[in-house]
Amino acid sequence: MKIAVAGTGYVGLSLATLLSQNNEVYALDIIPEKVEKINKRISPIKDEYIEKFFKEKDLNLKATLDYKEAFKGASYVIISTPTNYDEEKNFFDTSSVEDIIKKVKSMNDDNITMVIKSTIPVGYTNKIKEQYKIENIFFSPEFLREGKALYDNLYPSRIIIGEKSERGERFAKLLMNSAEEKDINILYMNSTEAEAVKLFANTYLALRIAYFNELDTYADKKGLNTKDIIQGVGLDPRIGTHYNNPSFGYGGYCLPKDTKQLLANYKDVPQNLIEAIVKSNNTRKRFISEDVLKLNPKTIGIYRLTMKSGSDNFRSSAIQDIIDIIKENNKKVIIYEPTLSMEKFNECKVENDFNKFKKESDIIMANRMSNELYDVKNKVYTRDLFGRD
């Protein structure tokens, strides 16, 4: 079966890699360098399993810049283009999704089914059906971690299909047949409910992070042992020990924008908790900033803009807002981020000589502790208690 995947970020590339084990897959992108890398079996994103599959597997995968080549004869077009959150409109920017929809429509092929994997507002798929007078489209959410996207597709927690139909069942089987896990929960529902599942799931994860961060803030202000409290709380099996490691705040590609979009979707619906999650994250970032400023360092070093191990993405990372707060207080900031080739980021010096970075920094802020920082651990400011993301 021919399948096209539009967009080669974490979601798109992991799906293209997964499905190309058993199907003819075309990956569409607008960046020539990414297309060239994929065709040379060089992953343009950091993901251990994608890199492994590119080296070891015989994948029927071709990347292209030509949407007609990608879409012609395809049974499914998976839309996984970015949908960044527009702060002014309080809405995801879905223009890239609609661009793909228009391109598929131009093919005049009723046999193509579009599957939206991009994160979208609740009610979006139905709105698009009406706007473009189409029926060959449904939503199917992804639940992936940065750096482990292919692994999470190989061993999915669940597969959710936003349509109760034969073509929905066929698509679920495509995902199942390419996964390593065989005992997978599959749920079929309408696209609007599937859209809500995605936003509510990510907002709950943000809630957990915010909760344990506020626990840590309380313990720090009261002179208590945060680790002991978290371990005692987490041993309750109803609570558990996942997503409980304090951090500088939740960030990344999904959680900040998904929580804000869900809050926007609550317009005219009573709520207190969803808004509190968004506000809590902002409060945490300001607390962390002020905690460091109290130490009165001359130069503050930022160890990595990426907020978790195994990721090369620092989009919307909490540390960037913290940098802005620190700069407002006229402190010098230098950044160690080996994935950056530029000399400055956000008007701050990027120092990729690690020894020089350690020497110049009076305080080193690290969202997650690293072995390479242990020789200067007396300089390190972190809230990492468990050595995991």
Domain boundaries, the chain: 2-189, 223-381
Instruction: Outline where DSSP puts E strands in the chain.
Output: 2-6, 24-28, 61-64, 76-79, 85-86, 91-92, 113-116, 137-139, 159-161, 186-188, 299-303, 332-336, 344-345, 348-350, 363-365, 380-381
- Are 2 and 24 in contact, with CB atoms under 8 Å apart? yes
Residue 254 annotated as catalytic: yes
Residue 283: CB atoms within 10 A of its CB come to 16
| Per-residue pLDDT, 313 | 65
- 351: buried, middle or exposed (CB in 10 Å: 19+, 13-18, 0-12)? buried
DSSP H or E segment with residue 161: strand 159-161
From CA 291, how far away is CA 322, in angstroms rounded? 11
**What is the residue-wise DSSP string for 291-327?**
HHHTT--SEEEEE-SS-STT----TT-HHHHHHHHHH
| Per-residue pLDDT, 311 | 59
Residue 108: CB atoms within 10 A of its CB come to 7
The correct answer on CATH 3.90.76.10 for the domain covering 2-189 is no
Span between the terminal Cα atoms of the chain, in Å:
38
Written as one letter, the residue type at 265 is: N
| Per-residue pLDDT, 310 | 57
Written as one letter, the residue type at 229 is: I
Using the structure block, give the residue that is written with the tokens 């499905």.
19
| Per-residue pLDDT, 146 | 82
2-189 and 223-381 agree in CATH topology: yes
| Per-residue pLDDT, 308 | 65
DSSP H or E segment with residue 219: helix 191-222
Catalytic residue among 149, 254, 350, 385: 254
**CATH fold for domain 223-381:** Rossmann fold (3.40.50)
| Per-residue pLDDT, 100 | 98
pTM of this structure: 0.91
Angle at 178 between CA 176 and CA 182, to 5 degrees: 45
Q: Are strands 186-188 and 61-64 parallel, antiparallel or unpaired?
A: unpaired
| Per-residue pLDDT, 344 | 93
Using the structure block, give the residue that is written with the tokens 């409109």.
89
Tens-digit pLDDT string for the chain (389 aa)? 999 999 999 999 999 999 999 999 999 999 999 999 999 999 999 899 999 999 999 999 999 999 999 999 999 999 999 998 877 777 789 999 999 999 999 999 999 999 999 999 999 999 999 999 999 999 999 999 888 999 999 999 999 999 999 999 999 999 999 999 989 999 999 999 999 999 999 999 999 999 999 999 999 999 999 999 999 999 999 999 999 999 999 987 788 889 999 999 998 999 999 999 999 999 999 999 999 999 999 999 999 997 666 555 677 789 999 999 999 999 999 999 988 889 999 999 999 999 999 999 999 999 999 999 999 999 999 999 998 87
